[in-house]
């Protein structure tokens, strides 16, 4: 009973003591901050419905993270301004009403297109069910942060009627900065941040003859090293210090996933670094690009990444999940390791091609998937893709992806430093 008294959306007064929220015996969670490290664990089970279990997990997460989700929304807008030297969008330290309206329209186009895909009779059943689980968790996060009780009577947990215009009010589908309330679209914005700003930065207003101008903040690094009987996988990001200090484990119906969350309010990692209980570990670096072709109405990468990271039991399943669509947004190189088979892999992508590398210790087998029925070459840079290691430096190893994206290696010393690190540290 003590745990039930100490609940609902605020962190503990003592940083070393966890805040606990218990919805009932089947859904509960805890969050604790020690120094700058935030750790959250949520457990939810419902033998009748995965959708209800995910929704309740999201509700607990929303209760535990509370007002920090609103801060994450505002911080995302601030980050967009501060990391764009040209201040193209927003043009001032906080978004103007016209900019919020433009962003709102783009996000709504994407969300309703996503619902249309889930309702399509041609959509793959298993993949669609998993995407619905992620959607219901997002709704749960929103409700947990804004309501006293979950809406278990208003939502359809069969998945036949999804939460759209007939469920949300117009206010819940609006976008804000620094208001007293949080909306569902605000939560969607936090999750879709990278995809959304790629759509904006590749719009005709900001691209001259289809080429993106200016410098961008894709300066994270990733590394995978094969040792005798082991695989080491690591990652860092320049998204900001605190973006690497929040870790969450979400366990739903016995299926769990641990990730570097990036910020409160996320259904996936955000920085794409973590592992699941099926033995898959992953990291990524985002491709630098000067040119891409973005789609507002596709399944944006944040959905596909959360799908791959949470539900994949093999690196082939990871590739299959991440490549169900290509929207030219948030294009990453995902390093993968399967601890069951000791297989390592890499997925790279452009707006038209996916390149898939896999190895059990020897040379990488390379295959491609074309999204426009034209050929994609399997040629790649052997300095970055090697039987012993993989390097992630925001620059694709794939010749095809480099060509499609007109990508440039803005920090060429990184692969030299990685190679020296491999020789000096791991081979002692």
In a domain, 84, yes or no: yes
In a domain, 117, yes or no: yes
Instruction: Determine contact, residues 294/280, Cβ cutoff 8 Å.
Output: no
Which pLDDT score, from 0 to 100, does residue 261 have? 93
Determine the distance from the C-alpha atom of residue 293 to the mean position of all C-alpha atoms in its chain, rounded to a whole number. Answer: 20
Looking at the structure, tell me whether residues 197 and 254 fall in a common domain. Answer: no
Looking at the structure, tell me whether residues 195 and 88 fall in a common domain. Answer: yes
Contacts of residue 230, defined as CB under 8 A and 6 or more positions apart, other chains included, come to none
pLDDT in tens, 310-349: 999 999 999 999 999 999 999 999 999 999 999 999 999 9
In a domain, 200, yes or no: yes
Looking at the structure, tell me whether residues 296 and 206 fall in a common domain. Answer: no
In a domain, 11, yes or no: no
Looking at the structure, tell me whether residues 190 and 225 fall in a common domain. Answer: no
If pLDDT is split at 50, 70 and 90, which confidence band does 84 have?
confident
Question: Is pLDDT at 354 greater than 80 in this prediction?
Answer: yes
Boundary residue ending a domain (192, 211, 230): 211
Which pLDDT score, from 0 to 100, does residue 146 have? 97
Instruction: Determine contact, residues 338/364, Cβ cutoff 8 Å.
Output: no
Indicate the burial class of 97 (C-beta count within 10 angstroms; 0-12, 13-18, 19 or more): exposed
Which pLDDT score, from 0 to 100, does residue 264 have? 96
If pLDDT is split at 50, 70 and 90, which confidence band does 6 have?
very low
Which pLDDT score, from 0 to 100, does residue 4 have? 36
Instruction: Determine contact, residues 156/142, Cβ cutoff 8 Å.
Output: no
Question: Is pLDDT at 11 greater than 50 in this prediction?
Answer: no
In a domain, 326, yes or no: yes
Question: Is pLDDT at 13 greater than 70 in this prediction?
Answer: no
Q: What average pLDDT does this structure show over 385-409?
A: 94
State both tokens at 132.
Answer: 């619905």
Alpha-carbon separation of residue 333 from 67, 129, 400 (angstroms): 33, 26, 13
Q: What is the largest CA-CA distance in the chain?
A: 64
**φ, ψ for residue 358 (rounded to 5)?**
-150, 145
Q: Any idea what the CATH number is for the domain that residue 116 is in? A: 1.10.439.20
Looking at the structure, tell me whether residues 64 and 188 fall in a common domain. Answer: yes
How far apart CA 216 and CA 80 sit, in angstroms, is: 10
Say which residue the tokens 């605000």 belong to: 186
Order of strands across the sheet with 221-227?
230-236, 221-227, 389-392
Which pLDDT score, from 0 to 100, does residue 36 have? 86
In a domain, 75, yes or no: yes
Q: Is 400 helix (H, G, I), strand (E, B) or coil?
A: helix
214 or 175: which carries more pLDDT confidence? Answer: 175
**φ, ψ for residue 103 (rounded to 5)?**
-65, -45
- Taking each helix axis from N to C terminus, what angle separates 50-65 and 125-146, rounded to the nearest 10 degrees? 30
Q: What average pLDDT does this structure show over 227-237?
A: 89
- Of 301, 353, 98, the C-alpha closest to 205 is 98
Number of domains observed in the structure of the chain: 2
Written as one string, the DSSP assignment of 101-157 is HHHHHHHHHHHHHHHHHHH-TTS-HHHHHHHHHHHHHHHHHHHHHH-SS--TTTS-T
Structural domain boundaries, residue 144: 46-211
Which pLDDT score, from 0 to 100, does residue 217 have? 55
Element (H, E) at 163: none
Looking at the structure, tell me whether residues 107 and 255 fall in a common domain. Answer: no
Q: What average pLDDT does this structure show over 234-245?
A: 76
Looking at the structure, tell me whether residues 240 and 186 fall in a common domain. Answer: no
List beta partners, residue 42: 29, 250
State both tokens at 346.
Answer: 């890499």
In a domain, 38, yes or no: no
Looking at the structure, tell me whether residues 303 and 184 fall in a common domain. Answer: no
Q: Is 346 helix (H, G, I), strand (E, B) or coil?
A: strand
Say which residue the tokens 């050929």 belong to: 375
Q: Any idea what the CATH number is for the domain that residue 397 is in? A: 3.60.60.20
Written as one string, the DSSP assignment of 17-55 is SPEEEEEETTEEEEEEEETTEEEEEEEE--TT-HHHHHH
How far apart CA 306 and CA 271 sit, in angstroms, is: 11
Boundary residue ending a domain (148, 183, 211): 211
- Of 109, 301, 263, 294, the C-alpha closest to 198 is 294
Angle, CA of 139, 236 and 138, to the nearest 5°: 0
pLDDT in tens, 95-128: 999 999 999 999 999 999 999 999 997 878 999 9
If pLDDT is split at 50, 70 and 90, which confidence band does 3 have?
very low
Which pLDDT score, from 0 to 100, does residue 205 have? 61
Looking at the structure, tell me whether residues 205 and 225 fall in a common domain. Answer: no
State both tokens at 1.
Answer: 């009973």
Determine the distance from the C-alpha atom of residue 55 to the mean position of all C-alpha atoms in its chain, rounded to a whole number. Answer: 18
In a domain, 182, yes or no: yes
Looking at the structure, tell me whether residues 355 and 394 fall in a common domain. Answer: yes
Cis peptide before 384 (omega within 30 of 0): no
Which pLDDT score, from 0 to 100, does residue 10 have? 36
pLDDT in tens, 184-208: 999 999 999 999 999 988 775 666 5
Looking at the structure, tell me whether residues 253 and 367 fall in a common domain. Answer: yes
| Mean pLDDT for all residues in the chain | 90
Cα-Cα-Cα-Cα torsion 246, 317, 123, 153, nearest 10 degrees, comes to -40
pLDDT in tens, 162-184: 999 999 999 999 999 988 899 99
416 or 107: which carries more pLDDT confidence? Answer: 107
Boundary residue ending a domain (154, 188, 211): 211
Alpha-carbon separation of residue 246 from 28, 185, 233, 265, 290 (angstroms): 19, 23, 18, 11, 31
Looking at the structure, tell me whether residues 197 and 331 fall in a common domain. Answer: no
- Of 75, 74, 93, 97, the C-alpha closest to 84 is 93
**Pairing state of beta strands 389-392 and 221-227?**
antiparallel
Question: Is pLDDT at 268 greater than 50 in this prediction?
Answer: yes
- Of 246, 230, 234, the C-alpha closest to 273 is 234
């Amino acid at each position: 009973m003590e745990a039930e008294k100490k609940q609902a959306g605020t962190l503990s007064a003592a940083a070393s003591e966890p805040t606990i929220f218990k919805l009932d015996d089947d859904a509960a969670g805890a969050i604790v901050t020690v120094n700058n490290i935030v750790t959250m664990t949520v457990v939810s089970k419902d033998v009748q419905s995965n959708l209800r279990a995910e929704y309740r997990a999201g509700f607990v997460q929303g209760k535990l993270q509370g007002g920090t989700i609103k801060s994450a929304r505002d911080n995302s807008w601030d980050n967009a301004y501060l990391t764009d030297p040209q201040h193209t969008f927003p043009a001032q330290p906080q978004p103007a009403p016209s900019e919020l309206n433009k962003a709102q329209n783009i996000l709504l186009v994407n969300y309703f297109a996503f619902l249309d895909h889930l309702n399509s009779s041609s959509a793959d059943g298993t993949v669609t069910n998993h995407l619905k689980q992620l959607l219901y968790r997002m709704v749960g996060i929103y409700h947990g942060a804004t309501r006293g009780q979950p809406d278990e009577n208003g939502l359809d947990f069969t998945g036949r009627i999804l939460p759209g215009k007939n469920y949300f009010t117009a206010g819940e589908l609006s976008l804000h900065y620094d208001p007293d309330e949080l909306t569902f679209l605000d939560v969607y914005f936090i999750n879709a941040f990278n995809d959304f700003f790629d759509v904006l930065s590749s719009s005709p207003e900001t691209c001259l003859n289809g080429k993106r101008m200016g410098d961008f903040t894709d300066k994270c690094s990733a590394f995978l090293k094969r040792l005798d009987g082991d695989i080491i996988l690591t990652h860092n990001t320049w998204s900001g210090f605190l973006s690497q200090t929040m870790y969450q484990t979400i366990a739903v119906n016995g299926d769990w996933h641990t990730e570097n969350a990036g910020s409160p309010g996320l259904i996936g990692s955000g920085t794409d670094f973590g592992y699941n209980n099926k033995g898959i570990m992953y990291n990524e670096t985002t491709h630098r690009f000067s040119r891409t072709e973005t789609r507002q109405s596709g399944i944006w990468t944040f959905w596909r990444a959360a799908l791959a990271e949470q539900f994949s039991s093999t690196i082939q399943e990871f590739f299959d999940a991440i490549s169900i669509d290509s929207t030219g947004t948030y294009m990453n190189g995902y390093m993968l390791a399967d601890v069951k088979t000791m297989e390592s892999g890499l997925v790279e992508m452009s707006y038209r091609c996916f390149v898939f590398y896999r190895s059990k210790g020897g040379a990488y087998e390379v295959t491609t998937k074309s999204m426009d029925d034209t050929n994609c070459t399997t040629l790649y840079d052997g300095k970055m893709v090697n039987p012993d290691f993989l390097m992630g430096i925001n620059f694709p190893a794939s010749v095809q992806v480099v060509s499609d994206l007109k990508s440039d290696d803005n920090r060429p010393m990184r692969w030299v430093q990685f190679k020296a690190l491999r020789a000096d540290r791991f081979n002692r």
